[in-house]
Amino acid sequence: MNLPGSVTIVEVGPRDGLQNEPDFVPTERKIELIERLAEAGFKRIEVASFVHPKAVPQMRDSAEVVGRIRRQPGVVYSALVPNEKGLERALASGVGEIALFVSASETHNRENVGMATASSLEGFRKIAETALAGGIRIRGYVVTAFGCPYEGTVPPENVERIVDAYRSLGTHEVALGDTTGMANPSQVSRMLDRILPRLGTTGLALHFHDTRGTALANVLAALQHEVTVFDGSIGGLGGCPYAPGASGNVATEDLVNMLEEMGIRTGIDLRKLIDCARYTRGIVGRSLPGHLATAGMIRWAGDPTNTEDPRQNVPGQRPK
């Protein structure tokens, strides 16, 4: 296989994961999780969402979270921004990157933000101008790029139009999101055959959910197309309130483990990452879909680095 030697993992759990939890996660816990993730080696972390608190109450403390993080040099802390008011709050808090989002499915976009896709894109124009003038990076999500819970198959032409629109806005990166976990490796390959030639200098990231257990297989298909930026969510947290049945993102620790075992460098300390997953399991108070927090790193009896206490792998137990 023709695979890249290294990739970048964008950790989205503090935003995309925790926003879907039924109970509010205390601000202090969110901050500690973000700081632990930075210490594990992540250079890009999506930490907050500046949507209206009534829409996403879990993110009502986003300004405080962003303002109180102990910033690690070289780490980009990003936030989701829905409109100009959200941008004002994000910029005031000191984020280094904003993320815009629009659905490739008209029905999902109306359910999600109450407007047509074209209207969403037009509303991004002023946001993008302000952000770029301030030297802020912009990521553009294409939500439901591989399938919609309301419409089913999403025409690739819809995705192409949004990618073109993001490029015209000057976004630094486009992220194709499998919001419902409907993608399969063949579909991913076909989509990338169409999208990659359109990007020019714009970066590409892929955001897979593991709803039907295909996320890591889809990552492998993308790697074979030389994609080198992938989103992950610690523990497999996540979902989408406007995509019925959509469970969490691919678990970051499982993704990093697979890549490192394949010889693809991530720059992430897997042992510290597993500790982050166990910490996350503790703060949400339940077992999570990720495997590594329970299984641990690949070790064998004669391995001198095999120092883990297997009792730490009990689901739901807080790390010491």
Which residues, at least 6 apart from 81, have a Cβ–Cβ distance to it below 8 Å? 50, 87, 90, 98, 99, 100, 127
d(CA 190, CA 233): 25
What are the structural domains, with CATH classification, of the chain? Answer: 8-313 (3.20.20.70)
Which residues, at least 6 apart from 198, have a Cβ–Cβ distance to it below 8 Å? 160, 163, 164, 167
d(CA 39, CA 318): 19
List C-alpha distances in Å: 181 to 9, 41, 101, 167. 19, 27, 17, 25
Query: Active-site residue numbers?
Result: 240
**Is the whole model's pTM more than 0.95, yes or no?**
no
Residue 303 binned pLDDT confidence (cut-offs 50, 70, 90):
low
Average pLDDT of the segment spanning 177-197: 96
Q: What angle do CA 125, 141, 226 make, to 5 degrees?
A: 125
Q: DSSP readout, 35-64?
A: HHHHHTT-SEEEEEE-S-TTT-GGGTTHHH
Q: What is the pLDDT of residue 248?
A: 83
Alpha helix ranges (H) inside the chain? 27-39, 62-68, 84-93, 106-113, 117-133, 156-169, 185-195, 215-223, 252-261, 270-284, 292-295
List C-alpha distances in Å: 97 to 47, 244, 252, 308. 10, 29, 20, 37
Q: What is the pLDDT of residue 311?
A: 44
Average pLDDT of the segment spanning 6-19: 96
Average pLDDT of the segment spanning 138-158: 95
Average pLDDT of the segment spanning 118-124: 96
Residue 283 binned pLDDT confidence (cut-offs 50, 70, 90):
very high
- In the numeric block, which tokens belong to residue 207? 């955001």
Q: What is the pLDDT of residue 314?
A: 40
Q: What is the pLDDT of residue 238?
A: 86
